[in-house]
Structure 1
Amino acid sequence: MASAGSNAPLIGTSDEAPAPWKRAALGANLLSPAGDLGVTIFEEMTTLAVSTGAINLGQGFPDEDGPAEIKAAAQDAIAAGANQYAPGKGVPALREAVSAHQQRFYGLAPDPDNEVLVTTGATEAIAAALLAFVESGDEVLTFEPFYDSYGAIIGMAGAKHVTAPLLAPDFLPDLETLEEAFSSRTKIVLLNNPHNPTGAVFPRSVLARIVELAVRYDAIILSDEVYEHLTFGVPHMPVATLPGAAERTITISSAGKTFSFTGWKIGWLTGPAHLVAAVRTVKQFLTYSSGTPFQGAIAVGLGLPDSFYLGIAETLRQKRDVLAEGLRAAGFGVYNPSGTYFINVDTGPLGISDSVDLARRLPGLVGVAAIPVPVFCHPEGAERTRSLLRFAFCKKMDVLEEAAGRLATLKERL
C-alpha cells in the first residue's frame, strides 16, 4: 500500500505499457490510484513505531539470534577462509544437508547434485522460479491475502495475478471457488503453507485438491514452506509428498524463519531436476551465489536434533498465547494461528471497520505497531479483510508481555 506524501505520478498514459518496475510496484500495492509511488506499509509502520517509541509487532523478524553453534560455525568458516564465491548451485555441504533434512522429516530424497539449489533467501527462490516459467499471458494463482513480494514478481514477469480467497475463521479456501480460479492459462500455483499472513496450516484435503487441479491444468506448484517447523499442534505436510505432486512441485524453504538468522539470506529449493535446472539458469544471473560461510553454518543447523525443532515451535506457541491474551483484553476478535509467527485479529468487535486507519493510530494510542491485512490483497480482497490486523509474535517474551499490557488498555483509549 502506498503511503501519503509520495512524489509526482509515475504511471504513464493509458496507452503506454508500464515498465517492469512499475508492474512490480503495482503488484505489491505500492502505487496509489493516481500513480504516486509510496513506501511499503512495513516501512511506514516501522517509521511510526520509531517516532512514537512503540513496540514494533508489524514486520516479522525475530529480535534475538538463533543457536550459538550455528553462529560459531559461521565465524569458524570466515576465519578458515570460506569467503569467496560459493558454487552457483550452493556449497555441497548445504545441498547435502537440505537433502538429508527432507529425508529425515518428510521421506523425500532429492538428489543434492541436481535437485537442490541454494538461493539468496526464499525471496530469490520465488523470484527466480517465477521469472523462469511465466511470461505475458500466463496466470499465476496465489491465495489471498498474499505475501507482497508475490504480487511484485508476478507483475515484473508480466503475468496475470489470480487469487483464491482464504476465509475466516480458519483461513482456508472454499474448494469450489478455488477450482473456479484455475484456467487453461494457469502456469503456476504459488502456495504458501504454513501461510503468511493468516497463520493457516493447510490440511491434506486442501493440498490434495490443489494437486488435483494442478494436474488437470498442467500447472507447476511452487510451494513456499519457510514456516515448515513453526506449527502448533498440527504437523506440516509438504505438498510434494502427496500423490501426483512431486513431478510438478518446487519446494522452497530458508534459514531465516527456522533458525532466526533472517539477515543471512540463505534459502533453498528442491524439485525435479529439469525444473531446478530452469530456475538455476535464471538464478545464476541474479545473484549467482551468496553467503559462502553462512551456507556451511546452516548445514550444521539442519543437522540439529529433533529437540531443537520441537523446542522452537513450543517456545513460539507460548509467545503466541501471551500476545493473544493481550489482544483479547484489547477487545479484538482473535484468530489463533496454527503456524507461522503471525496472529490476526478482527477490529469489528471494537466498532472499527478500517484496520488501515487503526494501524496508523495504534502506535500513538497504546504504543504498539501492527500491519493491516488489506495491504496483502487486491481491491476485492482488501474489502473482504478490511477489519483485519496482523501482529508478529517472534519477539522476546518480555517484549510481548509489555505489548500485551499496552494493548489491554486500548478500549479505554479509543
Structure 2
Amino acid sequence: MNKHLLADRVKALTPSSTLAITAKAKELKAQGVDVIGLGAGEPDFNTPDHIIEAAYESMKAGETKYTPAAGTADLKKAVSQKFEKDQHIAYSPDEIFVGSGAKHVLYCLFQAILNEADEVIIPTPYWVSYPEQVKLAGGTPVYVEGKESNHYKITADQLRAAATEKTKAIIINSPSNPTGMIYSKEELSSLAEVCVENNILMVSDEIYEKLTYGEEKHISIASISEEFKKQTIIVNGVSKSHSMTGWRIGYAAGEKAIIKAMTNLASHSTSNPTTTAQFGALAAYTGTQQPVEEMRAAFEGRLNQVFDSLNAIQGFRCLKPQGAFYLFPNVKEAAVSCGFTTVDEFAADLLEKANVAVIPGSGFGSDDNIRLSYATDLKSFKEAIKRIAAYVNEHSSASD
C-alpha cells in the first residue's frame, strides 16, 4: 500500500475494543461455539412499540425527506421540555443540536471547539471513544486517574493540578461507562468551581441518566447553577434510555455559538439525522415513559442478583454500580494467579476456554479491570459467572 494513501489522523486511531470483542464473540457463535457475550453496550430489550409505530406512521405520512440539519423543530421542542421536566433547565431551540447518535454529537462538538494542541481532561476509566475523538479534532487527551478508592471519580484537587493554559474542556460522564459510578451534587459543584475559575468547558455526557439504582440519583451539572450551566454542554440521547441504539439519535444542549458551529459542521457531513428516527425519538419523549422504568427496574434486578456471585470469584474485587448496566471488577489478582502478566491476556483466554466475552479494561484506560455488561438475560449472565468462576478455580495457582 502507498504510504501516502491514508491520513495521519486515522493511522493514529485505536480500534474500539468493545466492538472488536463483540465481533470476535459473534464470529465464534457463527462457528457453533456456545459463547456468552457480555461486551455490547446496548439494552437487550426491543424499542417500545409506540416508538416503532410512530416511526412507521411517519413514513406512511410521507415524512421521508430532509429535515433541518440540527433536527426537526418538534423534536427540539420535545428535548427542551424533557430538560425542563427532568432537570429543571431551560434551553431554547437554538441551544439544542440533534445529531446521528450521541457519539456523532460528541464528534461534532470536539470538531467545533478544539484547535491543535488544545487539551481535554479525560478522567479514567473513560468511555473508549473519548480520547480518539479528541485526537481526531487535533486535541490532546490529558488523563486524570479516578482512583478505585474514590469510586473511580476524580476530585477538584486533581482537576486543578491537571489544568493548564491549554485546557479547553473536561469530560464528565455520570453515570459512568464503564464503572457505573455517579458523581454527587457536591462532587460536581467542586469540579465546576475549578472549571469556572479556569474557563474550562464542561462536557457532561448524561446518556445513562435514566438508568440509576439505589439511593444515588443522576444530577446534571448544568442544573446546579446558572453559572455552571453557561460553562456546560450536555450530551444525551435516546439510545440507552429507550433502547434505541440502532436509531442513532443523540443531542447536545448549551452555548448558542457552539450549537451553531456543530449545526454547520453537520450540514456538510450528515445533512440531518435520519428523518424516520427523529419521529421515533419524538414519540420516545412525548409518549409513555413506563417502558423506561420497566427496563431500569429489570437492570436493577439483574444487578442485585448477580453482583455478590461475581464479587465472590477468587481474585475479583468489584464496587457495586450506581447506574448504567456494567460491572467493572478489578481482576488483576485473578489474572496473575492464572498465569498471565496482563488482564488483556486473561480476557482473551476467558473467551477461548470459558466461552465468555468480556471487555479488557485497558480500552477504558484501566489495565487491571474488565467490563461486563448485564444488558443481557439473567440466565445467560448467571451462567457466564459460573463459567468464569470455574475457569479461575481451574487455572489459578491458589487452587494447585
Same fold (TM over 0.5): yes
Aligned match of 1:266? 249
Percent identity, please: 23
Q: Which residues in structure 2 correspond to 1:234-249 (within 5 Å)?
A: 234-243=216-225, 244-249=227-232
How far 1:406 moved relative to its partner?
2.7
Q: Work out the CA distance in 2 between the residues paired with 1:232 and 1:107.
A: 21
Question: Which of 41, 66, 85 is 1:104 aligned to?
Answer: 85
Contact 2:179 2:327 in 1 (8 A): yes
Asked if 1:50 corresponds to 2:27, the answer is: yes
Asked if 1:405 corresponds to 2:382, the answer is: no
Aligned match of 2:10? 21
Amino acid at match of 1:344: F
Amino acid at match of 1:284: S
Question: Which of 173, 182, 193 is 2:174 aligned to?
Answer: 193
SS for the counterpart of 1:127 is helix
Aligned match of 1:4? none
How far 1:308 moved relative to its partner?
4.0
Amino acid at match of 1:153: Q
Q: Which residues in structure 2 correspond to 1:52-91 (within 5 Å)?
A: 52-91=33-72
How far 1:77 moved relative to its partner?
1.3
Q: Work out the CA distance in 1 between the residues paired with 2:4 and 2:178.
A: 29
Aligned match of 1:334? 318
Given the superposition, is the C-alpha separation of residues 367 and 325 from structure 1 closer, same or farther in structure 2, using an over 3 Å criterion? Answer: farther
How far 1:349 moved relative to its partner?
4.4
Aligned match of 1:363? 351
Question: Which of 173, 179, 189 is 2:154 aligned to?
Answer: 173
Q: Which residues in structure 2 correspond to 1:109-124 (within 5 Å)?
A: 109-112=90-93, 114-124=94-104
Question: Which of 292, 309, 330 is 1:346 aligned to?
Answer: 330
Q: Work out the CA distance in 2 between the residues paired with 1:251 and 1:91.
A: 19
Q: Which residues in structure 2 correspond to 1:369-388 (within 5 Å)?
A: 369-377=357-365, 385-388=366-369
Given the superposition, is the C-alpha separation of residues 267 and 127 from structure 1 closer, same or farther in structure 2, using an over 3 Å criterion? Answer: same
Contact 2:112 2:258 in 1 (8 A): no
Amino acid at match of 2:8: A
Given the superposition, is the C-alpha separation of residues 45 and 73 from structure 1 closer, same or farther in structure 2, using an over 3 Å criterion? Answer: closer
Given the superposition, is the C-alpha separation of residues 344 and 9 from structure 1 closer, same or farther in structure 2, using an over 3 Å criterion? Answer: farther
Aligned match of 1:150? 130
Gaps of 5+ in 1: 1-7, 31-38, 378-384
Q: Work out the CA distance in 1 between the residues paired with 2:24 and 2:325.
A: 22
Gaps of 5+ in 2: 396-400
Asked if 1:293 corresponds to 2:276, the answer is: yes
Q: Work out the CA distance in 1 between the residues paired with 2:384 and 2:285.
A: 32
Write out per-residue CA displacement over residues 337-388 of structure 1, whole angstroms, 9 at most, x where no aligned residue: 11111111121443356211111011233221101111222xxxxxxx3321
